[in-house]
Structure 1
Amino acid sequence: MGLSTSTKDFDTRVKESLDDAFMQKAVAKAQDDQWVKRETSRENLGNWEEWRDLGEQIRQHTLENLDFYLEQFSDNVTKNGGKVFFASTEQEATDYVKDVIRQKNAKKIVKSKSMVTTEIDLDRLLLEMDGVSVMETDLAEFILQMDDWDEPSHIVFPDIHKNREQIRLVFKEKLGYDGDNEPEHMARFAREVLREFFLDADVGITGCNFAIASSGMVNLVTNEGNADLCESIPDTQIVLMGMERIVPNMADAEVMDNLLSRSAVGQSLTSYITFSGPKLTEESDGPDDFHVVILDNKRSEALGTEFQSVLQCIRCGSCLNVCPVYRTIGGHGYGSIYPGPIGAVLSPVLGGYEQFGELPYASSLCGACTDTCPVKIPLHGLLVEHRRVMTDELKMGHGFVDKQMRFIAKATSSPFLFKQALKFGHVGLGVLGAKPSSTTENLYQYGGFISGGFGLIKGWTSVRDLPRPPKERDNFRSWYKNREQGGAAK
């Protein structure tokens, strides 16, 4: 899968998403439910804006001193008996993981949910190894795997686009499940299937919510406890983390966990908050062989640029849960494992504009994402900055859309052309006119509204009403000119 989740172009993905009525209803319901839970949990914490300020300060301070904290974390992991590998590219990261698996002669791998492992397409690469089986143990990721590795559609709720009956049919076809579609029954069945894999696993692979620089510990935040089993049962644990997922100390991790839990799932704390590392002498469980892979994969290119603040992200998915565009097209429309506003900013940083240059335009720039972000990333401002870079610095036109915008700019900057548009707009757009309903008579008093069209006009009229322009004698300029000359105001 990797960073990109689809080979289809942006317009095709969006059209398919717009035609998926179930997905839209599921996303809308999830957004509405999460709004109540999220805002309630934030209110219960108290002084939410002060917590946001503190979270922003911690993340900015860490990024500004990232080299120091990464070195400190690496030294402490090594001191505790673990191994650290810095991977510049996804190829280096996957090669290291495969080398560990070969050295261990491992056959069964269990994984907890990790955006980084999906970003580097680790599942597919491991499955290509002879005799190696991989099992995703997060319930939602497990469902997607059983459904022929279906694409995730949300950072926190990856199977949000499926209903319980669809899941039941997947379990029946792939696992022989013969029960009903009650979530509790299906979850118990999945638990029984997964427990066998946990007990037989040779290697556990996890992500990392926050790495603690001062101690070399790894902080994992989960709802199901599957990550705890991935790290405590197998003899070998491999942690994959983006280089930015680090905090200076335990106190800072506590702040981030509070922000993450409330923003991601609307809870005071998720079910399992774990701090782990290599197995200590006095401990009865945990990995004897502990590896941390710290991935760059173009993240360092954002440091010191206008896009550095996107690395503050703690992967809570809160911005997705307030975004009107995500509400309409869901996660699959973005074509990236990072959907929604954060994906529209981060995907071009990691994957480039040629592949993800459409995403910064998949936004209404309403600013809801910026307002809800627990670490105050200026997301809608960064979307505008992406557009500026593509348009002004890279001179990346957008085909016919770009030509239309240039024409509009020229027409509106020319007094003659602008006056002609006002003069003939009513007649010229009459061919696209449609009669209004009785309830909109006043709004469309000049001859209905524009229906259809082409290019930018179609993009607007397909989802919004565009009143037909008035005749020249009825427009505002004529009215104002008549008034200035002492005429009666109409």
Structure 2
Amino acid sequence: MSGFTDRVETALADRTLKIAVERTAGTAEAKRAVAVDAFPDFERARDRAAAIKDHVVANLGHYLEQFEANAVAAGATVHWARTADEACRIVIDLCKAAGAKSIARSKSMLGEEIGLPHALAEAGIGRIETDLAEHIIQLADERPSHIIWPAMHKTREQISALFKARHRTPHEEETIAAMAESARRELRTQMLGADVGISGANFLIADTGAVCTVTNEGNAELSLVPPRVHIVTAGIEKLVPSMAHATHMLRMLARSATGAALTQYTTFYTGPKRAGDHDGPEEMHIVLVDNGRTRMRAEGLAEMLRCIRCGACMNHCVVFRQIGGHAYGGTYPGPMGAVLTPVLDGLAASRELPSACTLNGKCQEVCPVKIPLPTLLRGWREKSWREGLEPTSMRAGIGLWAWVARRPALYRLGTGMAQRVLRLWGRNGWITSLPFAGGWTRHRDMPVPRGGTFMAQWKKQNRR
């Protein structure tokens, strides 16, 4: 994969991408605002949600043991995986033991994180992605660009062309309903005929051993109940103590993710099919995955383990809205991805992500569990600086700036001159190009400075 700068450059030059991202993220932002306004005491609800997650993370061992005991009592088998590779090996072995010729997979970012689609392909096990957006991604042979809307980078027109090229019986009318019907025809038979169903989990209920999935299409139920075997892959931080706690988190998740009071399908799976049940899998396996999570708790990133994967931080991020998800290069894009990717891929390989943030704080403002994302991103920046990962040019530039900033008279002289020079490059109130600053002006215009410098205006204000 190309470097971050190249990916950003490509994204900024893609006008269709900007249209696609704005259609979805802009709508999500507006719908969330309406849902929050209609939610009495939303701030107190955020406080409680953060407290629930912090309590679980602080007592993770206790709740993991409780969940395992109750899940086993309900008939499920619990597996433990320290790493992504170990988790994939467990899933592949379970599929082979079941003699699986086909598997149906319900959308799961944890599955993407551990590389499960690639592992299944390498093992020669065919899979069908049953989520509509993941189906689009699979047909296009691409990676998800958002954790809630994996295909948000594609326009309706692009999806129509893709379906016509890849579906056996494609749609004829250019309507959303016709395209959805085309996907339904393509997927339903394969869902119902799968030998194994694989899902993630939105929440794991410790006191019952239940697994909760949240979808808007019903694909999880169709792809997990009919197969003989249901395999769940879930991060160990997905735990909540009880159903009451899960209910509270569900209220926060739906409103933050899609602006709805509740998603269309919220399902709890407690063990495999029992005597007297009309349907359900004969086996249920739950793979609990660490993959750096205990390390995050030990190394000052425990607050990130609150994350309920709602995507609100992305929908409101000024950077994500410009470049989309693929530019981030990792499994998780946006502000949350800028924090998580250095954990998963190493800081040396992803140090540019925390530095790309403007630190405007909007992500923390909308996070339903109050994760201090700007603070965590600053922490990665500081670590990158301490470890000497920043390029020499940047260290020299910041050193020069610091030298000038420690000399107030020189600093004020420099900012005053810079403001006057910038005005010379302005046309009709905007600066469209600047020498040595093409990275800033190639895809955006800058407003011409008005009035004096900040310090000059501050001094003038205080004289009144």
Asked if the contact 1:433–1:451 (Cα under 8 Å) also holds between the matched residues in 2, the reply is: no
2:107 match = 113
1:171 match = 163
- Closer, same or farther in 2 for the Cα pair 1:167/1:469, shift >3 Å? closer
Residue type of the partner of 1:53? D
Give the C-alpha shift of residue 28 in structure 1: 1.9
Residue type of the partner of 2:375? G
Asked if the contact 1:434–1:451 (Cα under 8 Å) also holds between the matched residues in 2, the reply is: no
- Measured against aligned partners, the alpha-carbon deviations of 1:147-176 in whole angstroms (never above 9, x if no partner) come to 1x2121111011111122211211121123
1:140 match = 133
Which segment is superposed worse, 108-117 or 333-342?
333-342
* Aligned mate of 2:446, from 460, 465, 478: 465
Matched, 1:244 2:237: yes
Give the C-alpha shift of residue 421 in structure 1: 4.5
- Closer, same or farther in 2 for the Cα pair 1:46/1:418, shift >3 Å? closer
2:305 match = 311
- Measured against aligned partners, the alpha-carbon deviations of 1:179-219 in whole angstroms (never above 9, x if no partner) come to 23311111112112111112211000000000000000001
1:298 match = 292
CA root-mean-square deviation: 2.7
Which segment is superposed worse, 258-267 or 172-181?
172-181
Map residues 395-434 of structure 1 onto 2, 5 A cutoff: 395-414=388-407, 418=411, 421=414, 425=417, 434=424
- Closer, same or farther in 2 for the Cα pair 1:415/1:188, shift >3 Å? closer
If the length of structure 1 is used for normalisation, what is the TM-score? 0.87
* Aligned mate of 2:39, from 14, 35, 45: 45
Residue type of the partner of 2:434? G
Asked if the contact 1:260–1:374 (Cα under 8 Å) also holds between the matched residues in 2, the reply is: yes
Give the C-alpha shift of residue 436 in structure 1: 3.2
Residue type of the partner of 2:404? A
Give the C-alpha shift of residue 415 in structure 1: 6.6
Matched, 1:159 2:127: no
- Closer, same or farther in 2 for the Cα pair 1:426/1:233, shift >3 Å? closer
Asked if the contact 2:17–2:324 (Cα under 8 Å) also holds between the matched residues in 1, the reply is: yes
Looking at structure 1, the residues matched to 100 and 200 of structure 2 have their Cα atoms a distance apart, in angstroms, of 19
- Closer, same or farther in 2 for the Cα pair 1:210/1:420, shift >3 Å? closer
Give the C-alpha shift of residue 123 in structure 1: 1.1
Map residues 261-276 of structure 1 onto 2, 5 A cutoff: 261-276=254-269
Residue type of the partner of 1:129? A
Looking at structure 2, the residues matched to 469 and 183 of structure 1 have their Cα atoms a distance apart, in angstroms, of 47
Which segment is superposed worse, 160-169 or 80-89?
160-169
Residue type of the partner of 2:339? V
- Closer, same or farther in 2 for the Cα pair 1:188/1:408, shift >3 Å? same
State the secondary structure of the residue aligned to 1:275.
Answer: strand
1:75 match = 69
Runs of 4+ in 1 over 3 A off after TM superposition: 414-423, 432-437, 457-470, 474-481
Asked if the contact 1:97–1:238 (Cα under 8 Å) also holds between the matched residues in 2, the reply is: yes
Residue type of the partner of 1:436? G
Give the C-alpha shift of residue 282 in structure 1: 2.3
User: Which protein has the larger Cα radius of gyration, Structure 1 or Structure 2?
Assistant: 1
Asked if the contact 1:433–1:450 (Cα under 8 Å) also holds between the matched residues in 2, the reply is: no
* Total equivalences in the alignment: 457
Asked if the contact 1:450–1:467 (Cα under 8 Å) also holds between the matched residues in 2, the reply is: no
- Closer, same or farther in 2 for the Cα pair 1:477/1:229, shift >3 Å? closer
Q: Percent identity?
A: 39
Map residues 63-462 of structure 1 onto 2, 5 A cutoff: 63-130=57-124, 132-147=125-140, 149-176=141-168, 177-277=170-270, 278-392=272-386, 394-414=387-407, 418=411, 421=414, 425=417, 434-437=424-427, 439-440=428-429, 451-454=433-436, 457-460=437-440
Asked if the contact 1:323–1:340 (Cα under 8 Å) also holds between the matched residues in 2, the reply is: yes
- Closer, same or farther in 2 for the Cα pair 1:284/1:460, shift >3 Å? same
Give the C-alpha shift of residue 413 in structure 1: 2.4
Residue type of the partner of 1:263? S
- Closer, same or farther in 2 for the Cα pair 1:60/1:476, shift >3 Å? closer
If the length of structure 2 is used for normalisation, what is the TM-score? 0.92
Looking at structure 2, the residues matched to 479 and 311 of structure 1 have their Cα atoms a distance apart, in angstroms, of 43
- Closer, same or farther in 2 for the Cα pair 1:134/1:411, shift >3 Å? same
